Structure 1
Amino acid sequence: MKPLNGKVALVAGATRGAGRGIAVELGAAGATVYVTGRTTRTQRSEYNRPETIEETTELVNHAGGQGIAVQVDHLDPDQVQALIARIENEQGRLDILVNDVWGGEHLMQWNVPVWEHSLERGFRLLRLAIDTHIITSHFALPLLTRNKNGLVIEITDGTAEYNDKNYRVSLFYDLAKTSVIRMARSLAHELSPYHCTAVAVTPGWMRSEIMLDHFGVTEETWRDATASEPHFVISETPRFVGRAVAALAGDPEAARWNGRSVSSGELAQIYGFYDLDGSQPDCWRYLVEVQDAGKPANASGYR
């Protein structure tokens, strides 16, 4: 059963992390997935990391979909316009747009007030996190809205409810992640006349390649990281948010989520999917009820 057979998806920013997990799960559901990013096997982005869009494409193919890698800098309107023209020429349609471009880990300054924060790094972070999404939507949505039931997913960090109540890292990071949530709400309004849907989706504490490297662990040994950060026990793989997006894309009543801000954990309870280890981590409820409440790390009842 492949509910997304015949569907065409664009995952903007699928080199690693959530984007890779989403691309793979859309492929597993049968979609043709355009995988974009800046890092290829012959050229690296400013991240200077080894993951490539070709690797992601191979994972999509292995999962049962059709992956198509296209090197794109989503800050360059000409490159994005050419990408959409290629999708239109090759597929004639676009059903799912996932705006996952981020690229800000190396720019973040944790808990640094704006008057001490690097303006250069802060503004670069905002451009990578916000402008990329706007540019991609500008060129992609005329194609997506040609057919009813198109879906736009804005990937962020945190739900609207959580972010409204909490300071997130820095003024720049806070702006970036809350802006993406608001972007989904605005797009929901603009897409409604075309019977298309926009949703903001957040993973929980995700075991991305960068996060695993930060703790010096692998996916197989990730629990070793709880020795230094006990609350990492609530973490999830990038495939979990991938399954959340695939569930939304396969839901004929996805319009019920239009303009909403939802998490992978929340959607898992609704759609009944699980992470690779068979668990359903509910990170954002855990953060409020356990970590932020100052309680000892214990994921019982949250996985």
Structure 2
Amino acid sequence: MANSQLSRDLSFPNNTLAGILYGELNKNLQLVEQNIGVTIHVRGNGVTITGLEHEVLLTSDLLEQFYDLIEKDFTLYSSDFAFGLRVLEATPKAKLAKIFLDKVYITAQNRIISPKTQNQKTYIDAIRNNDIVFGIGPAGTGKTYLAVAMAVSALTTGQVRSIILTRPAVEAGEKLGFLPGDIAQKVNPYLRPLYDALSDMLGSEKSSDFIEQGIIEIAPLAFMRGRTLSNAFIILDEAQNTTREQMKMFLTRVGFDSMAVITGDITQVDLPRSEQSGLLHAKKILKNIDGLQFCAFSKHDVVRHPLVQKIIGAYEKNSGSKTPRHSS
């Protein structure tokens, strides 16, 4: 029976790799115990897992797959256990290596950026195989960060000559006119997350050099009007705050040898109630076009602090099945 008690022994041949798997002071194993509900006893380079049968089998699969990843020189972080657990809970036969070993980009700090969930892997593959990709889902799911990583990778490998990052300057009902400074100073706070992502990947000095040289451009969406963007990787962030007209304008800017990624959260529309979200409209009318793919994220793809996933779940529960604003 699935709910019967089970005890299972696992052995890991390499003591050093087993130590990496367990974590400092067995921290990784403690995280597994807390998240799954099993008891894990360490005995040298082996462990004994005790608990309900389905929990023990899940834990065994998780530990064995991560040990195999470490053997393949995967750099293991404690947070990866939470990501791996979500994948295996949703898809018990999933192979974590296919997700975690997909290297998107190596940052200036030699940190590897890779997908952490099945939906993130689908998103990365969609960007590789389509000219236009929409990433739609809640905050913290990696939509923008992975898109910027793919853009930087495309630039550094010569696939494109430039990166263009843009957002509509609409946030939570605030008006630009109330902010101090000229237009550049007014819109800068809205574009800050894009600067931060670039700095994280390239380093502050190199990202600043690329921006100064015009290789990377970060601008509000209004600045895209009338342009044709060729041989570029273009990212439209916070696209739920575009109007129908703005979304059409952006999509028709894409030129030859370019690729575009549009990201947004349709539950966080900050447009006036009289305006329909361009992202929702595009999702409705563009879904059957070849060369264009929509990728959906959920709270299960959140890769920020574990509390973020719980917060998103609480808000979803409170809102029930309400239709997103401006969806008519």
Q: TM-score, length-normalised on structure 1?
A: 0.29
The structure with more strand, counted as a fraction of residues: 2
TM-score (norm 2): 0.28
